[in-house]
Amino acid sequence: MKKQKRWGLYFFLTPVLLWLFLLIVLPHIDLLIMSFRSETIDGKAIWSPANYLNFFEEPIYWLTFVRTAVYSILVTFLTFVIALPLAFYITKVVAPRFQGFLLVLLLLPFWVSELVRVYGWMILLRESGVINHFMIKLGFLNQPVEMLYRDSTMILGLVYTSMLFMVVPIVSVLESLDNSLIEAAYDLGANMWTILFKIVIPHATPGIVSGSIVVFMLTLGNYLTPNLMGGKNSLWFTEQIYNQFIASFNWNQGSAFGFLLLVLSSLVVWLGLKLTKQNLRKVVQ
Amino acid sequence: MQIDLSVQNVTKRFDEFVAVDHVSFEVPDGQFFSILGPSGCGKTTLLRMIAGLTEPTEGEIEIRGQSMLGIAPNKRPVNLIFQHLALFPMMNVGENIAFGLKRRAESKSAIREKVDVILERVDLAGFGAKKIDQLSGGQKQRVAIARCLVLEPAVLLLDEPLGALDLKLREQMKVELKLLQAKVGTTFVYITHDQSEALVMSDHVAVMNKGVFEQIDSPKNLYNSPQTPFVAQFVGDNNAWSGRIRQCDQDAADVETSEGNVFRTKLREPLQSGDEVDLFLRPEAMLIQPDPSLAELNRFEVIVKDILFDGANSRLLAHPLDADTELLIALPQTRQFDYIRKHDKIEIGWDQKSGICFARS
C-alpha cells in the first residue's frame, strides 16, 4: 500500500520535475555560466565579470534598464487604477446575470494573439489610420498627426495588454467582500473615498498584489508591444537583450542582461510585497 | 414627549411587487420599538429606508422633526446594526468603534476617550486591541452595538442581530440588550421574526405582514387582544377553529365549530347569527380536567395524541373525539397531570373570556 502510494507520487511528480529542471533550471545555469565568460582578443574564453561591467559603463544600457523598470511600474499602477473601478463595477454594481457576460467581453480580445491586437492599435493610431481619418473629417485636425511611436502610445498598449491579468484577481477578491461592510461604512458616516481606501482596498490587497506582480513581470518582459508601438524611440530592455543575442551575436553579454532583468524583477516584486506587508504564499493563493 | 422617528405613508415598490405598503408609525424618544413579521414581509426594506440605504417610492420619513428624504445614509443621525454585524475584519475592535468618530474628524484624544467609555459600557474594557476574529459571538454583538452607540445616534436600528447566535446566548443577549437600552436611553428600532425577542424587549411592537402593519401595540395587548387573525396566529401559539355563529347577544355568541362542538365566546365586535367566524384559543387558556364545580366553562373531550415535553413549556397534542383537528394544550409541570398518557381521553374546559373571535373575511 505504502509502496503504491510512493510510486504514484513519483509518477506524477516526475514530468513536473523534468520540465522544471530541463526547461528552466538547466538553461538558466547555462546562461549564468555564459554571462561570466568572455573572449580575449586572441579568441580564448576566460572567466570575467566584463559583461556586467559593460552594463554599468555604457549609459545607454543602464538608462534603458531604469527606464524599463520605471515604465513597468507606471504601467502596473495605471492598470490598477483602471482595473479597480472596473472590477468593482463587475462585482458590485452590475446585475449578477450580466457579470459573466462582462467578464467574457473582457476576455474576448485575448482570443486573438498579442501581435494581431497590437496591429489593431497600429491601424487605429498611425498617421494614415482610422482615428486621424475621422479627426480630419470632423474638422478637429487640419493635418494628420503621428500617434504611434511615442512613449504614451507604448504605455497605452502595455496597459491594454495587461488589463485582464489585473481585473481577474481583483474581481475574485471583491466577490468575497460582503456588501454589508460597504453599507455599514456608509451608514457610519464614511464617504465614497473613505470606503475605497479603508474598506475596499484593504480587503482587495491580496488580489491587487497578485495582479500587480503578474502585470509587472509581463510588462517588464514584453518585447512585442514596446517594439511595435514604441518604435525606435522607446527603448525597452528586452530589445537590448534581443540585440545582443541576435544582432551582435554576443550571447555572453545577452545572458548577463537577462540575469540583470531577472534580478530587477525579483527585487521589485520583493519590495512590493514588503511595502504592502503581504506574504507571497497568501498572494499566490 | 419628543418623537424621534416618524414614518408617514411610506411605500416601496420593486417593479410590480409592493414590499412596503403605506406604513405609518411614530416612535417617541427612548422607546424600544420592534417590528415583528415573518421573513419576506418587508421589514428589512422598511429598516433600510429609515437608514437611507433604500429610497422610498412614496411617503415621508422624519427623524427628530427633520425630513430624511434625499439625505444620504452617511448624513443621517441613525445607525444600523446589520444582521451579520458587518464588523470590519481589517481593523481591530478599537478601530472599528473609532471608525465613525474619525469620519467626523474628532480629535484623537476625544476619540480615544469615547472609545474607552463605550467599551466599558458594553463590558469590553481592554478589548480595544483585539482582532475581530478573536471575539466570541456575543462579544462581536456588543462591538457592533458599541460602534453605533458611540456616535450617539437619534435612533439605533437593529436588523435581527441575534439571529446568528445560538439559543442560550440569544436568550442572554435579549436581556442584555434590553438592559443596555434602558441604560443608554437611545431609541431602538428592532426588527425580528422571533416573537419572543420582540415581546421580551420591546415597549411597543408592530406586527407586519405582506408589507402592511397589522397592529401596533404593547407586547401584552398584542398577546391578549390581537386585532387581526394574522396577529392572533403569529404572536404566540394559537388553536384555530373555523365555525358559524348560531346565536348571539351584544358581546357574546354561541359558535358552532366545523366539527360540531358549540362554544360560548365573548365577541370583540358585534356580529350576526349565521356569520362565518374564525375562533382562536391560546394553549394555556385550556384547562385539563377542570373542576366540575366551575360553571360557565366550555367543556369538550379530546384524545391525547402525543405529549410534547419541553420543561415549563410542555404541551399536549390532542384532537377532538371525532375530528382530526390538532389542538395544543398547555401542560403545567406541577406533577398534577403526570398520569396522562398517550391515547387517553380527557376533558378540556375553557372560559368564554379567553376566546378570540374574528369574522371571516
User: Which residues touch A270 (CB under 8 Å, ≥6 apart)?
Assistant: none
pLDDT at B97: 94
The residue extents of the domains of chain B are 3-230, 239-359
pLDDT at A177: 93
Per residue, the 3-state secondary structure of chain B, as one string, reads: CCEEEEEEEEEEEECCEEEEEEEEEEEECCCEEEEECCCCCCHHHHHHHHHCCCCCCEEEEEECCEECCCCCHHHCCEEEECCCCCCCCCCEHHHHHHHHHHHCCCCHHHHHHHHHHHHHHCCCCCCCCCEHHHCCHHHHHHHHHHHHHCCCCCEEEEECCCCCCCHHHHHHHHHHHHHHHHHHCCEEEEEECCHHHHHHHCCEEEEEECCEEEEEECHHHHHHCCCCHHHHHHCCCCEEEEEEEEEECCCEEEEEECCCCEEEEECCCCCCCCCEEEEEECHHHEEECCCCCCCCEEEEEEEEEEEECECECCEEEEEECCCCCCEEEECCCCCCCCCCCCCCEEEEEEEHHHCEEEECC
- A284 pLDDT band, cuts 50/70/90, is low
Give contacts of B156 with chain A, Cβ < 8 Å: none
* Mean pLDDT for all residues in chain A: 88
Distance CA B232, CA B228 (A): 6
* Model confidence at B249: pLDDT above 90: no
Residue B98 has pLDDT above 90, yes or no: yes
**pLDDT(A233) > 70:** no
- The domain spans of chain A are 49-284
- Residue A192 touches partner B, C-beta closer than 8 Å: no
Give the model's pLDDT for residue B209.
93
- Tell me the mean pLDDT in the region B195-217: 92
Q: Which residue of B has its CA nearest to A186?
A: B74
pLDDT of residue A2: 66
- Inter-chain CB proximity B88 and A199 less than 8 Å: yes
> Among A136-140, A210-214, B121-125, which range has the highest average pLDDT?
A210-214
Q: Which of B63, B99, B145 to mutate to test the interface with A (most CBs of A within 10 A)?
A: B99
What kind of fold does domain B239-359 have according to CATH? OB fold (Dihydrolipoamide Acetyltransferase, E2P) (2.40.50)
The whole-number pLDDT of residue B273 equals 84
Residue A203: strand, helix, or coil: helix
Closest-approach residue (CA) in chain B for A202: B90
CATH number of B3-230: 3.40.50.300
Tell me what pLDDT residue A195 has: 94
Contact yes or no for B84 and A178 at CB 8 A: yes
| Cβ neighbours of A178 in B, within 8 Å | 84, 86
**pTM of the full predicted structure?**
0.81
**Do residue B73 and residue A186 have CB atoms under 8 angstroms apart?**
yes
Residues of A in contact with B79 (CB under 8 A): 187-188
**Residues belonging to chain B with any Cβ–Cβ distance to chain A shorter than 8 Å:** 51-53, 72-75, 78-80, 82-84, 86, 88-90, 99-100, 103-104, 147-148, 151
CATH fold of A49-284, please? MetI-like fold (1.10.3720)
Closest chain A CA to residue B79 = A187
pLDDT given at position A283: 66
**Mutation site, B50, B54, B74, B83, interface A, largest A CB count within 10 A:** B74
Q: How far is B173 from chain A (nearest CA, A)?
A: 22
A195 touches chain B (CB under 8 A): no
Is B53 within 8 Å of A180 when comparing Cβ atoms? Answer: no
Whether pLDDT at B11 is above 80 = yes
